[in-house]
Amino acid sequence: MKTLTIREAREGLSHPEQMFAKNDEVLVMRHGEPVARILPAAPKPNFRSLRAFLASQPMQTVPSEALLAEDREDRC
């Protein structure tokens, strides 16, 4: 964890890509006391495509009409 004074943080915020390049937590101190904690942004979740999801699903081999008719016959 990196610690900075308020003055260092104020000067460094003009170039945040250099200050936070290590993707680490930064603690801002004033008079030896912590006043702020700067955390890295959470990474964007990696979702698979809808096409890949649908391709992984099993296809129905029996038509839905037949399944409904069979269910209705079982109820009577």
pLDDT in tens, 8-44: 888 877 777 777 666 678 888 999 999 998 887 777 7
Torsional class of 23: left (φ above 0), alpha (ψ -120 to 50), beta (otherwise): left
Residue 59's CB is within 10 A of a number of other CB atoms, namely 5
pLDDT at 6 over 90: no
Overall pTM surpassing 0.85 (yes/no) = no
Note the pLDDT of residue 68. 93
Torsion angle in degrees (nearest 10) through CA of 5, 7, 13, 14: -150
Note the pLDDT of residue 23. 62
Note the pLDDT of residue 71. 92
pLDDT in tens, 54-72: 999 998 889 999 999 999 9
Distance CA 72, CA 66 (A): 10
Sequential DSSP letters for 54-72: HHHSPPP-S-HHHHHHHHH
